[in-house]
Each structure stands twice: as structure tokens, then as C-alpha cells.
Amino acid sequence: MMMLRKKRQSMGRQKIAMKRIENEEARQVCFSKRRAGLFKKATELSILCGAEIGIVVFSPAGKPFSFGHPSLDYITKRFLGGGGGGGEMVVAPLCGIFVEGQKLLQLNQEHAGLTEKLEEARRMRAELEAEVAAQRGGSGLPCDVEVHEMGVEELESFQKRLEELRRNVANRREELEILCMDTKVTRGGVPPQLGYGGGYLGGYNGLYLAPAPVGGFYGHGQDMNMGFRFGDRWYS
């Protein structure tokens, strides 16, 4: 028998022409994805090769985004100062950023610190949540291994607790029998605190989450010359 292949769920990635995407929505979507991709590439480059990178991007809607490793400020200063190997001082293009960065450095750092702490707190929370869920789910009883590790005193007190519990269980059964189960009462379902059975495992780091760039247009740009300096030369 043939394996009945599921109907194609997508046509897969299609090749696209290297020209401005006319559809506005598609263009915005593409921009978001590719900006993320670009920043990721930059991150990788800096990590893998120890390169220092600064990027500034204006979205089609005119919203500014930037990336910097170690920081835009640093890159700016370095660029201004003429950098190490290059020797020659590249003039003022980024000096404004430099000035700005100088004064904002402190706040930025503080901000970065806060973000980090937030991350950590959240991670911790997820872990704890999972732990709670695990204990609850496992009926809360210590497993055999744990019992096997106990010392005499621990065993003793543990035994007492067990006795107590047994009494409780017995009582409860009696109670239930008396009630004669003509009512499906109580026990709505899972206690609310439990939430998700498995615990949150969140895979994605929402690092790139961002407020939607909404903004006016500004009419210029498409046909201005593009190029890049490569070593000592300019390419276009």
C-alpha cells in the first residue's frame, strides 16, 4: 500500500527576486524576519570570530533598530578613534552617536542589568513551578530511593506520619461510604495552582520580541547609492 502522504502543507520556501517587495504587508513581514536574521548573523560573527560590530537599521516604516557588540557606543568610539590596525581616523559620521552614548552609557548598563535579572527571576520561577507541579503530580510521596537513604531517626518519624495518614485514609473511606456516593460531589478538578501539567518548558527566548514599528513614511532612499568600504576601498 502506498503511504498516503499528507497533502502538502506549504509550498516551502520560494525563490524571490532581488527587488523591492511591492506588497506592503509582505515587505514588513520580510523586514522583521530578515532584521532578526541579520542581527543573529552579527551575533554569531562577533562570537565566533571575536569581531566587534555595530549596526543601525531603519525599517521601511522608519523605525530605528540597532545592534552593538560590545556596544554601539564602543564601536562608535573605536571607529572614531581610528581603531587599532587601520590606523587612520575615520571622520565624524558617528560622532553624534558617540556623544549621545557617552551620556547614556550608565542608564543603558543599568537597564541591561535589570533585564538580565528579570530573565533570571523568570527562569527561576519556571523551575520552581515545575518542581511544584512534579511534587504534586507524584502524589507527594517520597520515592523508594529516598526512603532507602533515610537514617533511623528519620525513619521513625516518617513511620509515625505514615500511621497518621493511614488513619486519615481509613476515616475518609468510612466517610465516603456513609455518604453513599449518591452525589458526585467535591473535587472540581486540578487545583488551580497546578496550571500546566508538565510545567512550562518555554523554548523560545523572546529576545527579539518587539513593539510593532508603526510610523509614518518618509519618501526617499530606494535609489540612492549603496556601497560598502572594504578595507581601504569603497564598493558599490
Partner DNA sequence: CGCTCTATTTATAATTC
Partner DNA sequence: TGAATTATAAATAGAGC
d(CA 126, CA 115): 17
Residue 174 makes contact with a copy of itself by CB under 8 A: no
Closest CA to 25 of 212, 229, 154: 212
Is the bond preceding 70 in cis, omega lying within 30 degrees of 0?
A: yes
CB 143 within 8 A of CB 208: no
Residue 12 makes contact with a copy of itself by CB under 8 A: no
Supply φ then ψ for residue 163, to 5 degrees.
-55, -50
Residue 192 makes contact with a copy of itself by CB under 8 A: no
For a copy of itself, the closer CB: 11 or 226: 226
For the bound state, the minimum distance from the C-beta of residue 35 to DNA, rounded and expressed in Å, comes to: 9
Q: Nearest 5 degrees, angle CA 81-CA 73-CA 33?
A: 125
Residue 34 makes contact with DNA by CB under 7 A: yes
Choose the contact partner of 183 out of a copy of itself, DNA, none; CB within 5 to 8 A by kind.
none
For DNA, the closer CB: 27 or 78: 27
Stretch 100-139: interaction string toward a copy of itself, x if CB under 8 A: x--xx--xxxxxx-xxxxxx-xxxxxxxxxxxx-xx---x
> Position 40: which residue type?
K
Residue 141 makes contact with a copy of itself by CB under 8 A: yes
For a copy of itself, the closer CB: 3 or 235: 235
Choose the contact partner of 166 out of a copy of itself, DNA, none; CB within 5 to 8 A by kind.
a copy of itself
CA-only gyration radius of the chain, Å: 31
Residue 166 makes contact with a copy of itself by CB under 8 A: yes
d(CA 111, CA 122): 17
Residue 90, class by beta-carbon neighbours within 10 Å (0-12 exposed, 13-18 middle, 19+ buried)?
A: middle
Choose the contact partner of 186 out of a copy of itself, DNA, none; CB within 5 to 8 A by kind.
a copy of itself
Which residues contact DNA by CB under 7 A?
A: 8-16, 25-26, 28-30, 32-34, 36-38, 40-41, 44, 203-204, 206, 208-214
